[in-house]
Amino acid sequence: MEIRQLKTFQTIVNNGGFTKAAAKLNYAQSTVTGHIQEIEKELGKPLFDRLGRQIVLTETGKQLLVYTNEIIELIEKASQLSTNNKGVSGTLVIGASESLTTYRLPPIIRTYKANFPQVQIVLKPLTDEDIFEELKLGQLDLAFFMGRSITNEELTAIPLVTEKMALVLSNQQSPKAGNLLKDFLPDNEVILYTSRGCDHRYFFEELLNKHSYTPSETLEFWSIEALKQCIICGSGTSFLPLITVRKEWMNHELTCILTKENRIRTQMVYHRNKWLSPATQNFIKLVKKEAKNWEKEMISYDIN
């Protein structure tokens, strides 16, 4: 089993197919196929299940991917010995939820690229479930997750900021006065949810159950942007991180009612056994520095 074969295998997985891997590596597709066949011959087991036009990793493929990522990481680590004095370079693969991809990370990436132009950043918008799966397989250098505290022993999680949460209504609605979350909701309201697998959705469902609130209807959206437009049009109510609706709130396009029940945290996560390259270490430093401003900003919205 050769390094170039393992790199071909990793590229197929990361790029979603043989054809894309061939283009990425500038190989003929027959070369890519040959590399995989040689590995499968040596292991005596297939690496992929071919399901029509799709390929899916077999259990053997999943196990080999973990070792492959570790081996290639070690090679990259060794190569840094000769490049440390030439500036930080390499590829940094980051996974993040939609909220953080859209509302937290862009300014950090802009600043980082200005300081480390030789680093290629691959930003992967992922669901929470996909984030943890790719971290486990070593496919991500860093991940950013918005949810409750992570206690997985395989992962190192760095809390960055406790996010303010808001009940979000259209300006046409007249929320009732009261102290409990349910007392701000109009009777028989349509509730708009983000997609499943999102932790703040589960938090919202828990709050509604806690206060025995029954909506007239529920709708599910894959995009927060689409969900916000429906709220503005008066099509329902949702419960979202303040950062996702702050702009529209300040522009008086919708109404936000902040809640004291803030258990949602933005966290930076990486696999405990993952080698932190110079590119990754510098990104972590920049995020920690920026997170201090996030915390100050959230404190400014504290409810008395």
pLDDT of residue 286: 95
pLDDT score recorded for residue 55: 87
Among the four given CATH numbers 3.30.930.10, 1.10.357.10, 1.10.10.10, 1.10.3720.10, the one describing domain 1-82: 1.10.10.10
Residue spans in the chain of domains classed CATH 3.40.190.10: 84-162+264-304, 165-258
Return the pLDDT at 79. Answer: 67
pLDDT averaged over 10-residue windows placed end to end, the chain, 304 residues: 89 89 89 91 90 86 90 76 61 90 93 91 87 88 88 88 89 59 70 78 81 84 89 90 91 86 84 87 94 86 64
According to CATH, the topology of domain 165-258 is D-Maltodextrin-Binding Protein; domain 2 (3.40.190)
What CATH number labels 84-162+264-304?
3.40.190.10
**What is the structure's pLDDT at 303?**
59
Return the pLDDT at 288.
94
pLDDT at residue number 179:
46
- CA gap 136, 8 in Å, rounded: 20
